[in-house]
């Protein structure tokens, strides 16, 4: 996601950093490079022009201040970051619940944009947050649509309101209206209405969506759009905005190689906030949209906050606290901790996705490392560590040749694999020590394959510990990454 764009931004900053003193013509040159990068990323022309102009004006305005700074390129970075956050909608917006339940959420969008999947994700997400959602199958167009939603509903144990099978084509407006009535009776506090999509924007689609809207009067109408469709996303958004109207946007398929244009153009052009992002086919691949975190990713600074939240969720309270204390007190990071972290990582989801949130994850060297990581490696590594005695896990220095071959036999792996794990573990331990002594991740250091989690204790500790610069993205930038 946003790879091309964040590579370009990294290049732009790289070039700026090399200049000690920034002049007006440097600002102009930077703006021109940004303009080209954004257009290549399929950001709508009018948005690009406005965005770049704002950066230019703001930078020129504060040029006297910039000149006083010892890190002039950082000041420009700050301006770009701010404008990027603004264009992405400013502050994150949450679902607005109705004063009088149920809160009605209607999903609309083109065929295949991800509405039904989103209905499941949203229901799961809201349920975990203590709500009692009801899913409504109001797509009676596509033969399989009701079944698709039923399967999702069952998998998350959320009730579904759907027309009786074999009941003819059915009327989606009526189904939606009845569903809301049913939710009121049964005290479901959120109703999620999945509607039918069409291949293109047409009058019939708009009419059906508008009729459902008029019948259920949603508290939130969410326009669901596939981020991969680039410029078309904006055109479709505008058509829906005029035809049906919506309160917020959900960007889906951000896990694909979306260039990012849609994310950057939609909020600005429709004036509606992006509420959620969908980043995969699994129901857990979903989160609120945070403009500041997205800006940080686009700028190649990673998304440490999301990573930290996921780490916190995955490491249960006790073990996170223990690891944090261990880290702070300077105790050694052992293979036992490593195994515990790996188990937590399994809970967090795919390793490559997690590592993608690290600062610099889009940089070529880091990317090569990430690409080299095979999620199955986690399973293999786990087998090896589990074949070690508690003492060996605590103190890998005792691992002589015969112990290593015993472990290899026990885990069904080769001695070379055992050796490689021990080597990588030592490298990770070194990183941990360095980070603890306040040096941050060593420059140019990419995490060794299978060692994604040395960062975890630091992450677990992050909310409490004040780092030199409170802002991890800024710190990463300070350190020249």
Ligand X SMILES: Nc1nc2c(ncn2[C@@H]2O[C@H](COP(=O)(O)OP(=O)(O)OP(=O)(O)O)[C@@H](O)[C@H]2O)c(=O)[nH]1
Contact positions vs ligand X (CB under 6 A): 109, 111-117, 139, 142, 145, 197, 252-253, 255-256, 278-281, 285
User: How big is the chain, counted in residues?
Assistant: 481
Candidates 349, 291, 368, 332; CA nearest to 88 is 291
* Token pair for 377: 């490696």
From the list Mg ion, ligand X, none, which binds 256 (C-beta under 5 to 8 Å, kind-based)? ligand X
For β-strands 274-278 and 286-288, DSSP reports them as antiparallel
From the list ligand X, Mg ion, none, which binds 113 (C-beta under 5 to 8 Å, kind-based)? ligand X
Give the H/E segment covering residue 106: strand 103-109
Nearer to Mg ion, 115 or 312 (CB): 115
Nearer to Mg ion, 115 or 404 (CB): 115
Of residues 102-131, which lie at the interface with Mg ion (CB under 5 A)? Answer: 115-116
- Write the binding mask 69 to 108 for Mg ion: x where contact by CB under 5 A, - elsewhere: ----------------------------------------
Least Å distance, CB 145 to Mg ion, is 5
Residue 176: Cβ within 10 Å count: 26
Least Å distance, CB 136 to ligand X, is 13
Least Å distance, CB 411 to Mg ion, is 44
Residue written as token pair 């605590």: 394
Residues in contact with 465: Cβ distance below 8 Å, sequence separation at least 6, in sequence order = 328
Handedness of CA 70, 73, 74, 80 (dihedral sign): positive
Nearer to ligand X, 306 or 341 (CB): 306
Least Å distance, CB 252 to Mg ion, is 12
From the list ligand X, Mg ion, none, which binds 117 (C-beta under 5 to 8 Å, kind-based)? ligand X
Residue number of the CB closest to Mg ion reads 116
Nearer to Mg ion, 138 or 237 (CB): 138
As to burial, measured by CB atoms within 10 angstroms (0-12 exposed, 13-18 middle, 19+ buried), residue 288 is middle
CB distance 357 to 426 below 8 Å: no
Least Å distance, CB 194 to Mg ion, is 6
The rounded distance, in Å, linking the Cα atoms of 285 and 251 is: 12
Least Å distance, CB 123 to ligand X, is 13
Q: Can you give the binding site for Mg ion, defined by CB under 5 A?
A: 115-116
């Amino acid at each position: 996601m946003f790879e091309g764009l964040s590579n370009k931004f990294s290049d732009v900053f790289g070039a700026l950093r090399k200049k000690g003193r920034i002049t007006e013509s440097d600002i102009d040159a930077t703006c021109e490079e940004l303009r080209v990068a954004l257009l290549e990323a399929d950001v709508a022309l009018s948005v690009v022009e406005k965005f770049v102009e704002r950066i230019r004006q703001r930078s020129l305005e504060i040029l006297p201040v910039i000149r006083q700074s010892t890190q002039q390129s950082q000041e420009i970075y700050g301006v770009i970051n701010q404008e990027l956050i603004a264009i992405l909608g400013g502050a994150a917006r949450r679902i607005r619940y109705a004063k009088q339940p149920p809160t009605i959420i209607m999903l609309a969008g083109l065929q295949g944009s991800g509405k039904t999947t989103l209905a499941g994700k949203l229901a799961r997400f809201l349920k975990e947050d203590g709500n009692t959602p009801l899913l409504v199958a109001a797509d009676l167009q596509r033969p399989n649509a009701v079944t698709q939603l039923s399967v999702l509903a069952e998998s998350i144990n959320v009730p579904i309101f759907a027309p009786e099978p074999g009941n003819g084509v059915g009327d989606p407006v009526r189904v939606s209206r009845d569903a809301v009535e049913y939710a009121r009776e049964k005290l479901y506090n959120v109703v999620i209405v999945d509607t039918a999509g069409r291949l293109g924007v047409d009058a019939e689609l708009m009419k059906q969506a508008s009729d459902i809207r008029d019948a259920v009067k949603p508290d939130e109408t969410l326009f669901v759009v596939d981020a991969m469709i680039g410029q078309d996303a904006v055109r479709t958004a505008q058509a829906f905005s005029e035809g049906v109207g919506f309160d917020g946007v959900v960007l889906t398929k951000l896990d694909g190689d979306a260039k990012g244009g849609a994310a950057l153009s939609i909020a600005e052009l429709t004036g509606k906030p992006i509420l959620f992002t969908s980043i995969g086919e699994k129901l857990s691949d979903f989160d609120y949209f945070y403009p500041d975190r997205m800006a940080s990713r686009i700028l190649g600074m990673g998304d440490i906050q999301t990573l930290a939240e996921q780490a916190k969720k995955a490491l249960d309270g006790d073990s996170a606290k223990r690891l944090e204390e261990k880290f702070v007190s300077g105790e050694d990071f052992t293979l036992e901790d490593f195994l515990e972290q790996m188990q937590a990582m399994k809970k967090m989801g795919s390793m490559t996705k997690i590592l993608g949130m690290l600062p610099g994850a889009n940089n070529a060297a880091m990317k090569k490392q990430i690409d080299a990581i095979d999620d199955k490696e986690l399973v293999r590594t786990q087998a090896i560590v589990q074949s070690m005695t508690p003492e060996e896990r605590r103190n890998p220095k005792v691992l002589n040749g015969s112990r290593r071959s015993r472990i290899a036999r026990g885990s069904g792996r080769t001695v070379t694999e055992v050796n490689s794990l021990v080597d990588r573990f030592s490298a990770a331990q070194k990183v941990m020590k360095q980070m603890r002594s306040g040096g941050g991740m060593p420059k140019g250091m990419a995490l060794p394959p299978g060692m994604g989690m040395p960062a975890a204790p630091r992450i677990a500790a992050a909310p409490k510990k004040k780092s030199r610069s409170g802002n991890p993205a800024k710190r990463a930038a300070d350190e020249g990454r």
